Amino acid sequence: MPSTPRVCVIAPEPLLTIEIETDPVRDAPEVHVHPGGQGLWVATMARSLGAEVVVCGAFGGETGEIAAHLARTRELEVRPTRRGGGGALVRDRRHGDDPHHVVMPSVPLDRHALDDLYGTSLVAALEADVCVLTGTQHGVGLPQDYLTRLARDVAASGTPVVADLSGGLAAAIDRATLSVLKMSHEEMVDDDLADADSVPALRAAAGRWVADGLDAFVVSRADEPTLLVTADGTAALTTPPVSTVDHRGAGDSMTAGVAVGVGRGLPVVDAVRLGAAAGALNVARHGLGTGSRAEIESFAERVTVDDLG
């Protein structure tokens, strides 16, 4: 497998994100404009880790066109569907830890847009070394069986599939089509997949998915050790402690690191070590899905792995 893998990220709901902060030097408003949403944050971190990245998503309307342009300035290849999408998120962070949000929901994808996105995504995924499936948050209206079909078709052609999904989108997917599924412990409890957020409960829940054919289940647990559950057992991966600047985007950065590791052909535990390092270092920075490849790879060497049996 290549040291510079090609990663295909399926981003059904890309967003234009606008952050308003206070410039401490001038004591004046400071505006930052970025491509955002789960898929684009995953893609940005994968590019930071040296992968070639293609993003397939709905980039309709003015905001979609701007988000696509900004993504290209970050050296992401964008293959857009121009109908639907176009969501935006404005976050005013000038007034403490409780920022004011304005969300413009994405335009739902109609039948034609869904067909266009499917064809574009399938072709791009088959050209890649690994495909990453991401979900939606603001009502883009993705049918639950949509990613299920895509995962099945991509996996059937031999491209590994990494998914960062929860809820109905995750539940609908055939476990055997996924190389890795990443989910947070909060999502597992909220979706009634696990009875509690304790290690035994999370292990048991993830183990059921593995028994159904999933290769590896990764459970992110905020500042607690990440769990990796496979048919061979469970491991706990611990990163060195890092002071948090912004916790947002840690999970997406972890997914990107795992996907890049899978694309490089690393053993799954080493792919998850890379993902854990990417997630941990991302919280120490301003800017979601950002980081230095050299720093992340060095930090990954300090991630400890404990065999839980």
Q: Answer whether residue 136 is part of any domain.
A: yes
CATH code at position 230: 3.40.1190.20
Residue 269 lies in a domain: yes
Q: What distance in Å separates the CA atoms of residue 297 and residue 268, rounded to the nearest whole number?
A: 15
Band (pLDDT 50/70/90 cuts) for residue 94 is confident
Lowest mean pLDDT: which of 88-92, 98-102, 109-113, 160-164?
A: 98-102
Would residue 1 count as lying in a domain? no
Flag whether 243 is in a domain.
yes
pLDDT-above-90 percentage for the chain = 71
Residues 107 and 101 sit within 8 Å (Cβ to Cβ): no
Q: Alpha-carbon distance 94 to 305, whole Å?
A: 40
What is the 3-state secondary structure of 112-179? Answer: HHHHHHHHHHHHHHHCCCEEEEECCCCCCCCCCCHHHHHHHHHHHCCCCEEEECCHHHHHHCCHHHCC
Q: How many domains does the chain have?
A: 1
3-state secondary structure of 283: coil
Beta strands in 2-86 (DSSP E): 6-11, 15-23, 28-36, 52-58, 77-81
Statement: residue 278 has pLDDT above 70? yes
Q: Which two tokens stand for residue 244?
A: 């948090």
Burial of 306 (0-12, 13-18, 19+ CB in 10 A): exposed
DSSP H helices, the chain, are 38-48, 61-73, 111-126, 146-156, 167-172, 185-190, 199-211, 250-264, 268-282, 293-300
Q: Is 39 helix (H, G, I), strand (E, B) or coil?
A: helix
* Residue 263 placed within a domain: yes
How, if at all, do strands 233-238 and 224-230 pair? antiparallel
User: Could you list the residue range(s) of the whole structural domain that residue 204 is in?
Assistant: 6-307
Q: What is the pLDDT averaged over residues 76-92? A: 91
Please tell me the total number of residues recorded for the chain in this structure: 309
Mean local confidence (pLDDT), 156-181:
94
In a domain, 287, yes or no: yes
The answer to whether residue 180 sits within a structural domain is yes
Is 10 domain-assigned? yes
Q: Is residue 84 very low, low, confident or very high in pLDDT (cuts 50, 70, 90)?
A: confident
User: What are the pLDDT digits (tens) for 103-128?
Assistant: 898 888 889 999 999 999 999 999 99
